Amino acid sequence: MEPSYTGPRSFLVSLIFNFEVVLLVTSLLFFLTASVGLLGGLRENTCLLKTFSTTMMVLSCLGAFVGIFMAFLPWLTRNFFLSHVTDDFVVHYRDKADYKNVSTSYLGHRT
């Protein structure tokens, strides 16, 4: 008997499971930011250049914050993954072929 499908328990866990969506949105954001910088440089438009520099500053600070958070609080990150992501991964690993391949290859190397 097949268990019924239940979605991930939190929004953050669903983002981890659908990492391709996160990468798509991130790359679209960087593309738009670079386009604004290019147009501002070509047209010598100070408004576009200020928008570009502000956006790059915000993205840089956000990236630095995430990096520092992951580097200096690894126990918090590990506890989150072990308590939330591991349970959902075990339940939903058959939903996507990639997860099934990763889990079977990981379990195959452990034996």
Q: What is the DSSP string of the chain?
A: -PPPP---SSHHHHHHHTHHHHHHHHHHHHHHHHHHHHHHHHHT-HHHHHHHHHHHHHHHHHHHHHHHHHHH-HHHHHHHIIIIIHHHHHHHTTSSHHHHHHHHHHHHHH-
How much is the average pLDDT of 5-23?
71
46-103 confidence digits (pLDDT tens) = 999 999 999 999 999 998 998 888 788 777 777 777 776 666 666 666 666 666 666 5
Whether the predicted model's global pTM rises above the 0.75 cut: no
